[in-house]
Amino acid sequence: MTLSIPFDNSYARLPEQLFSRQDPTEVGAPKFIAFNAGLADQLGISGYEDNGELARVFAGNEVPKGADPIAQLYAAHQFGQWNPQLGDGRAILLGEVDAKMGRRDIQLKGSGPTPYSRNGDGRAWLGPVLREYVVSEAMHALGIPTTRALAAMETGESVLRETVLPGAVITRVASSHMRVGTFQVMSARRDTEGLTALYEYAVDRHYPSAKDPLEFLKAVMDAQAALIAKWMSVGFIHGVMNTDNCAISGETIDYGPCAFMDEFDPMQVYSSIDRRGRYAYGNQPDIIVWNMAQLATALVPLMPDMDEAIQLFTQAVHSMPDVIQSYWTQAFGAKLGLSIPDANDVELINGLLKIMAAQKADFTNTFRTLSADNARDQFTNPLEFDAWAEGWKQRIEREPSATETMNAANPWVIPRNHQIEAMIQSAVSGDYAKFHEMNALLATPYTEQPDAVAYTRPPAEAERVQATFCGT
């Protein structure tokens, strides 16, 4: 049987200023690493038994039947600076499938240059490909909206970064790849035809009940508010929340120097390119509001009256922090076993976070061990924790299913940085056992898996990862 993907491409039918037709560039020696059969089944993909064929298709050497490969145009604010033209510099959208779970994009990343590559080589090296595969699938298993990983293949070619590294291609699946920056580019070019077409397409694809640009903006803000609260609740730091890495769908997208925190530090930054900490853990709720303000600005030309649009959009953006706060309270309340947290509970949550920060407690393990009643072991001065826990225990007396609530909100295992680095190290030397082991383990992150307890341990001093590199 040969590979069959039921493509049904719609983005490629939009006005052509939104993208460029571009085939992937052939690579020297495609080699199979991984294929996500469970996801493929959900997408209606069949005939995927031949790893050789999969390697050829998902390394970009064979364009599958029905694909209509394009690179999408976008712009962005990068670290607050306007960049009028970016676009998929190393990604190619093969096409879409209209699956049971909804329409999904299938996109190769690292598949060669495009008209938007600027000085880049259009390639990716193995490390970021494997990191994205493991972390995006882990995020999905954690219940956090995200792009998914369908495949990872070696190219058999090397790429030059700080050193010479093995090349690879990841295939990602997203409910779409429209970004804040996609709207920005049309708006900045005063291309009303393009902007209107994009807006109508996005409404139809993601928010069909939105009746006007204001409702659309509010729907995107709501999805993003919910997303950021979820990131915060698992200690996730995206690392590059530029407006091109901010999806209209509300999915986590563009896994670069992302990381999960070990010890809790509200201002934690891992990305080596984020020198001023713009995208630090604790800044994420503010930055998403900033990004939504950029989306609002881009949508203004779609409104009949500019002054009125600015007034309405400003109001909407100003209301976003409260929306985030309410999702945040819900998410962190659940971590303490509270089914319907109220305003008083915010103080309780912050009380714990304050002690965790002061004592550098491990984020994941502290929350997870609350339900087993041994979280005090995570603190160097447990008496402070005990004092907090007294009030907490009183509060959860009113919660009949506190334990279940906590164990469904506090993962037992997350993809820790030092484990990801070790996994990449062994893959570079040709051993993918740890990559597969991590994928299997992280598929059920809320379940205790006693054989894998090593993955729940914070890094020893020597294992500690100081910085993650954009390392594209």
CB 136 within 8 A of CB 252: yes
122 scored as a contact of ligand AMP (CB under 6 A): yes
CB of 74 to Mg ion, least distance (A): 9
CB of 157 to ligand AMP, least distance (A): 13
CB 219 within 8 A of CB 145: no
238 scored as a contact of ligand AMP (CB under 6 A): no
Q: Which of residues 341-370 bind Mg ion (CB under 5 A)?
A: none
> How many residues contact ligand AMP, by CB under 6 A?
17
CB of 35 to ligand AMP, least distance (A): 24
Q: Which residues of 305-333 are buried (b: 16+ CB within 10 A; e: fewer)?
A: eeeebeebbeebbeebeebbeebbbbbbb
Q: Which residues of 265-299 are buried (b: 16+ CB within 10 A; e: fewer)?
A: beebbbbebbeeebbbbbbbbebbbbbbbbbbbbb
Closest residue to ligand AMP using C-beta atoms:
120
Which is closer to ligand AMP, CB of 123 or CB of 434? 123
Active site residue 244: yes
115 scored as a contact of ligand AMP (CB under 6 A): no
One of 17, 42, 117, 359 touching ligand AMP (CB under 6 A): 117
Which is closer to Mg ion, CB of 137 or CB of 244? 244
171 scored as a contact of Mg ion (CB under 5 A): no
245 scored as a contact of ligand AMP (CB under 6 A): yes
Point out which span in 246-254, 302-310, 389-397, 444-452 binds Mg ion (CB under 5 A).
246-254
CB of 121 to ligand AMP, least distance (A): 5
Catalytic residue, candidates 23, 191, 212, 244: 244
| Cα separations in angstroms, 460 against 116, 262, 416, 424, 466 | 42, 11, 12, 18, 12
**Residue 235 binding: pick among Mg ion, ligand AMP, none (C-beta 5-8 Å cut-off by kind):** none
Point out which span in 116-124, 187-195, 373-381, 409-417 binds ligand AMP (CB under 6 A).
116-124
Closest CA to 427 of 38, 129, 15, 145: 129
240 scored as a contact of ligand AMP (CB under 6 A): yes
104 scored as a contact of ligand AMP (CB under 6 A): no
One of 167, 256, 341, 445 touching ligand AMP (CB under 6 A): 256
CA atoms within 13 A on the CB side of 359: 21
Sole residue written with tokens 């506190």: 402
Point out which span in 99-107, 240-248, 342-350, 398-406 binds Mg ion (CB under 5 A).
240-248
254 scored as a contact of Mg ion (CB under 5 A): yes
User: What is 380-402 written as a DSSP string?
Assistant: SSHHHHHHHHHHHHHHHTT-TTH
Structure tokens at 7: 């493509």
CB of 364 to ligand AMP, least distance (A): 26
The Cα 216–Cα 298 span in angstroms is 12
Which is closer to Mg ion, CB of 160 or CB of 470? 470
222 class by beta-carbon count within 10 Å (0-12 exposed, 13-18 middle, 19+ buried): middle
The binding track of 72-91 with respect to ligand AMP, each residue x by CB under 6 A or -, is: --------------xxxxx-
DSSP class of residue 116 equals T
The H or E element containing residue 344 is: helix 343-359
Sole residue written with tokens 């069959």: 4
Residues marked as catalytic: 244
